[in-house]
Amino acid sequence: MAPFIYSLHWDPVPFQACIAGLPESIIAAACARSGQRVLHVDSRNYYGGNWASFSFSGLLSWIKENQQKTDLSDECEDWRKLILEDEEAIPLSSKDRTIQHVEDFCFGDQDSAEGVEEAGALPKLPVFAAAAAQGVSPGPEESPAAEGISLGSEESPAAEGVSPGPEKEDPAVESPGEEAQSPEPEQAPGTDPAGAGTAPGSGAAPGTAPGESPLEPAKAEPAPSENAAQEPKKITYSQIIREGRRFNIDLVSKLLYSRGLLIDLLIKSNVSRYAEFKNATRVLAFREGKVEQVPCSRADVFNSRQLTMVEKRMLMKFLTFCLDYEQHPEEYQGSVSLNKTRKLTPSLQHFILHSIAMVSEAESSTLQGLQATRKFLQCLGRYGNTPFLFPLYGQGEIPQCFCRLCAVFGGIYCLRHAVRCLVLDRASGRCKAIVDHFGQRISANYFIVEDSYLSESTCTNVCYKQISRAVLITDQSILNTDSEQQVSILTVPPLEPGRAAVCVIELCSSTMTCMKDTYLVHLTCPSTKTAREDLEPVVQKLFNLNTEKETENEELEKPRVLWAVYFNMRDSSGVEKSSYAGLPPNVYVCSGPDSALGNDCAVKQAETIFREMFPTEEFCPAPPNPEDIIYDEDEIEPEESGLNNSPETKPEASAEENSSGDGHLYNKIY
């Protein structure tokens, strides 16, 4: 069936055009908030680019798409005829080359999953972009935000139909045959990015009662019994397929530092009301072939049984020193080793280097290690006993939150809408318009694009790094405790010289990223080889990769991998704009995800680009209080005629909702 074609009649007033990604979503929100006209287009049928999250069937479709690497169809082959004599065209790429070496493995019985469909999925429509993978019918999914989700509950519709897969879309202006995108985990007072024909954020989710804070704590799952914790339930591949809508699998694995730039921006812009968070509950270490918990807070240190009393005192003194290390430059400048001056034991050195500072001993200086340790310590205690937060329903929620804010202030969103070329004015050397795949010219003052959309000729001189990624579905935690609902971070030191340390993030079902009785494990490291070659040795150390029949006795204690995927992702962070050939000055390039644990790089990049575009405007200020908005008489008349809700039905903003302090986000953390 041919794709749904629609006609767009663009206003002659120029847009600020954006494409995909977290930095672009932040810039789009900042531009719309400052009164600019924003058009956010994407050739994909889901939001976020390489920052997106997928349901299980969505991820299977994404895997199939990247293994085949098919070109996008060119619906307007004669678009070059639209370029005038005094203009020049800069073609954009129709291929996504950012993902390579995709390999997926099922360690269960795949035959038993034949014919199994996702629970709650509607019959598959013959829509061009909704290709099913491996016999799985993705089915249309509705955005839970459009239905008013029950926040933090595992029975939430968002837990069933989440994450934008290749068959999903969230805030869109088109595609009636496709489903709405990933779960919007927070009641959005004033926005809802789902719905065809509208921009995201067009309606209020009914989950927020009048007078309540916009951030509500997630509901905890019932604590499992001891027997259940000791004997993990047998999970089959057919169960994973059937419960696929309960998975929200991130392409990029990150955590939010509680005092990081992204959390500060979420609070400042009031975007935090669109999301819900869960504390990372523990920091782990891998030492001498065993996984153990690292004491982080003062109470953890003194309650730890892993450290002697002498080591506890040494650790507390060292951490106190790290908080004000700048006052003692003689202890870290030059070639002075802190291991010698502080006389740290090998176990303390391991904990500090790999689990607190999380830096490479070979590639990082003493000063960098101290800075990383201080950042870790400063983030402790703001929202919990660890420095990290994780957004419920996955990292892919964060770009959508900023899309909501942009839409509330008039941003227009178009999925499956490819941009064929930039139109360059030869006289001024600036980009004046873009041409889409329907052959329509759209005027634009600025064009913000992700690196992956640029052609090979534009990126000839760019040297890229790569990230190795693996995602596993397992049947139990890497460190079993009384509680199964743990969010853990583990740094595995290099297993051999020349390799990088591997960051492991394990998510439980209460994060709304996996089905009950399973865990979602993300592994990330800078690439030296293919993702499988980089990460499989670590997977073998931590997990049991054998099928249930082949499992040996010594492997029984390890979590069993049910399904796994490996892939390499391009890391374009740190690339200067001057490295791209022939780009006009009003075209800005945003990088994709980097290998760092936090999101500081994306926020810095977004703010830098916005300030270059609009140096006099404030970057993402808080939206006005609805009570402070003064309406024109023409806008009040429909309300008086009974067409709108009466004033009595409008929820009032609480004082907590309008605050920008820590408590504003704290109420949404579980």
Neighbours of 264 (CB within 10 A): 15
Q: Look up residue 428 and give its DSSP letter.
A: T
Six-digit token string for 285? 């270490």
Beta bridge pairs of residue 603: none
Q: How far is CA 197 from CA 6, 12, 24, 200, 401, in A?
A: 11, 20, 22, 10, 19
Task: Name the residue among 43, 46, 40, 42 with its Cα closest to residue 62.
Answer: 46
What integer best gives the mean pLDDT of the chain?
Answer: 76
The pLDDT value recorded for residue 652 is 43
Rg for the chain, CA atoms, rounded: 25
Lowest mean pLDDT of 156-160, 348-352, 428-432, 489-493, name the range.
156-160
- H helical segments located in 182-233: 226-230
The H-or-E segment that residue 285 falls in is strand 282-287
> Does residue 338 carry a pLDDT above 70?
no
Please give the distance of CA 621 from its chain centroid, rounded to a whole number.
22
For residues 573, 576, 579, 580, the Cα torsion angle rounded to the nearest 10 degrees is 80
The pLDDT value recorded for residue 328 is 80
> Does residue 129 carry a pLDDT above 60?
no
Contact criterion met (CB below 8 Å) for 227 and 480: no
Q: pLDDT confidence of 330, banded at 50, 70, 90? A: confident
Q: Look up residue 188 and give its DSSP letter.
A: -
The beta strands (E) that lie in 540-669 are given as 561-571, 587-590
The pLDDT value recorded for residue 346 is 86
The pLDDT value recorded for residue 662 is 58
> Does residue 250 carry a pLDDT above 70?
yes
> Does residue 389 carry a pLDDT above 90?
yes
The pLDDT value recorded for residue 201 is 39
Contact criterion met (CB below 8 Å) for 248 and 54: yes
For range 372-401, the mean pLDDT: 93
Q: pLDDT confidence of 368, banded at 50, 70, 90? A: confident
> Does residue 469 carry a pLDDT above 80?
yes
The pLDDT value recorded for residue 77 is 57
Q: How far is CA 462 from CA 92, 229, 455, 570, 576, in A?
A: 16, 50, 12, 12, 9
pLDDT in tens, 224-240: 444 444 566 788 899 99
The H-or-E segment that residue 302 falls in is helix 298-303
pLDDT in tens, 262-318: 999 999 999 999 999 999 999 999 988 899 998 877 777 878 888 889 888 888 888
For range 654-665, the mean pLDDT: 48
For range 29-35, the mean pLDDT: 93
pLDDT in tens, 602-634: 999 999 999 999 999 999 998 777 776 666 555
CA gap 122, 23 in Å, rounded? 34
Neighbours of 234 (CB within 10 A): 12
For residues 434, 436, 439, 441, the Cα torsion angle rounded to the nearest 10 degrees is -30
What is the percentage of the chain residues whose pLDDT exceeds 70?
68
> Does residue 536 carry a pLDDT above 90?
yes
Lowest mean pLDDT of 102-111, 143-152, 536-545, 650-659, name the range.
143-152
pLDDT in tens, 555-580: 668 899 999 999 999 999 989 888 89
